[in-house]
Structure 1
Amino acid sequence: MRRVRKALTGPLAVGVLVAAVAGVGFGLYWFQPWKLWQDETVQEALPGAVATSAPPTAAGKPSAPAGTPSPAGPQTRASGELISHEHATSGTVKLVRLADGSHVVRLEDLDTSNGPDLRVLLTDAPVKEGRVGWHVFDDGEHVSLGRLKGNKGSQNYALPDGVDPARYTSVSIWCDRFDVSFGAAELARA
Structure 2
Amino acid sequence: MARNPARRAALLDAAIEVLADEGARGLTFRAVDARAAVPTGTASNYFTDRDQLLSQVAERIFVRLTPEAGSVDTAMAPEPSRELVVELMQWMARRLTAQRSCYLGLFELRLEATRRPDLRARLTEVLKSDLDANIRLHLTAHMPGDADTVRLLYFALTGLLMDHLTVPGMHDERALDSIIEMVVRRVVPER
TM-score in terms of structure 2 length = 0.25
Q: Please tell me whether Structure 1 or Structure 2 has the larger radius of gyration of its CA atoms.
A: 1
Which structure has more strand as a fraction of its residues?
1
TM-score in terms of structure 1 length = 0.25
